[in-house]
Structure 1
Amino acid sequence: MMANDVFREITPLTPGDCYLLFDRNKKRFDFPVHRHHEMELNLILNAGGAKRVVGNYSAEITDTELVLLGPNLEHGWLNHNCKGENIREITIQFQHDILSGGMFDREQMQMLKTMFKASAKGIVFGTEMISKLAPMISALSDKSGFDSVIALLKILHELSLSPYQCLLDQDTEEIAEPAYKNPDDDFVEKAFSFMNTNYQHSISLNETAQAANVPNKLFSRMLKRSTGLTFRDCLNQIRLGQVSRLLIENNYSIGEIAYRCGFSNPANFNRVFKLKKNCTPKQYRNKYNGNRVIVY
Structure 2
Amino acid sequence: MINSELFKEVSPLSSKDCFILIERQKSNFNFPIHIHPECELNYIENARGAQRIVGDSIEEIDEEELVLITNPRLEHAWMDHHNKPQSIHEITIQFHPDLLEENFLNKNQMISIRQLFRSAEKGVVFSREAITKVRPLLKTLTCENDSFYSLIKLLIILHELSVDKGMRELSSRLFVNTPEQKGNNNHKLNKIVEYVNQHYAETIRLSEVAEMVNMSEASFCRFIKQHTSKSFIDFLTDFRLGAAARALIDSSESIAEIGYNCGFNNLSNFNRIFKKKKGTTPTEFRDNYRKNKTII
Fold match by TM threshold 0.5: yes
SS of the counterpart of 1:12?
A: coil
CA deviation after TM superposition for structure 1 residue 84, in Å: 4.6
Contact 1:7-1:35 within 8 A present in 2 as well: yes
Please give the TM-score of this superposition, normalised by the length of structure 2: 0.57
What do you get for the CA RMSD once the two structures are aligned? 2.0
Residues 176, 21 of structure 1: CA spacing in aligned structure 2 closer, same or farther, 3 A cutoff?
Answer: farther
Partner residue, 1:118 = 119
Partner residue, 1:174 = 178
Partner residue, 1:266 = none
Residue 20 of structure 2 aligns with an amino acid whose one-letter code is: L
Residues 91, 175 of structure 1: CA spacing in aligned structure 2 closer, same or farther, 3 A cutoff?
Answer: farther
Deviations 1:255-290 (A, max 9, x none): xxxxxxxxxxxxxxxxxxxxx9xxxxxxxxxxxxxx
Residue 76 of structure 1 aligns with an amino acid whose one-letter code is: A
Partner residue, 1:38 = 38
Matches within 5 A, 1:88-237: 88-100=89-101, 102-143=103-144, 144-163=146-165, 164-171=167-174, 172-174=176-178
| Equivalent-residue separation in structure 2 for 1:161 and 1:16 (angstroms) | 29
Deviations 1:96-135 (A, max 9, x none): 1111261111011111001101111000001111111111
1:22 aligns with 2:22: yes
SS of the counterpart of 1:58?
A: strand
Structure 2 gaps of 5+ residues are 182-293
Partner residue, 1:47 = 47
Equivalent pairs, count? 178
Give the number of the structure with larger relative contact order, counting CA–CA contacts within 8 Å between residues 6 or more apart. 1
Contact 2:49-2:61 within 8 A present in 1 as well: yes
SS of the counterpart of 2:142?
A: helix
Structure 1 gaps of 5+ residues are 178-275, 277-296
| Equivalent-residue separation in structure 1 for 2:3 and 2:129 (angstroms) | 33
